[in-house]
Amino acid sequence: MKHYLIVGASGSVGSLVASKLAAQGAFVHALTSKPERAGQVEGNIRWIYADLKSGQGVADAFARVQRAFIFAPPGYVPQDEIISPLIREAVRNKLEKVVLLTALGANAVDTAPLRVAELELERSGLAYNIVRPNWFMQNFNTFWIQGINEHNKILLPTGKAKGSFIDVRDIADVVVRLISTDDLNNQAFDITGSQSLDHDEVAELLSKVAGRKVSYQEIPPEVLKQGFLAAGLPEDYADFLLLILGFFAQGYSAHTTNSVKDLLGRDPIAFGQYAEDYKRAWL
Task: Dump pLDDT digits (tens) for 95-150.
Answer: 999 999 999 999 999 999 999 999 999 999 999 999 999 999 999 999 999 999 99
- The whole-number average pLDDT for the span 151-159 is 97
| pLDDT at residue number 247 | 95
| pLDDT at residue number 5 | 98
101: nearest Cα among 227, 193, 189: 189
- The whole-number average pLDDT for the span 192-196 is 97
Q: Which band of pLDDT confidence, cut at 50, 70 and 90, is reported for residue 204?
A: very high
In 73-195, which ranges are continuous DSSP H helix?
A: 79-92, 113-122, 145-151, 168-179
| pLDDT at residue number 74 | 85
What is the CB-side half-sphere exposure of residue 203 using CA atoms within 13 A? 19
Please state, for a pLDDT cut of 90, what percent of the chain lies above it.
Answer: 94
Is the alpha carbon torsion for 180, 182, 187, 192 positive or negative? Answer: negative
| pLDDT at residue number 268 | 98
Domains of the chain: 3-133 (3.40.50.720), 135-166+192-254+266-277 (3.90.25.10)
pLDDT of 76 > 90? The answer is no
Task: Dump pLDDT digits (tens) for 227-263.
Answer: 999 989 899 999 999 999 999 999 999 999 999 999 9
| pLDDT at residue number 73 | 87
pLDDT of 77 > 90? The answer is no
- The whole-number average pLDDT for the span 161-189 is 98
Centroid of chain to Cα 36: 24
- The whole-number average pLDDT for the span 42-66 is 95
| pLDDT at residue number 1 | 84
Which helix (DSSP H) or strand (DSSP E) does residue 235 occupy? helix 235-249
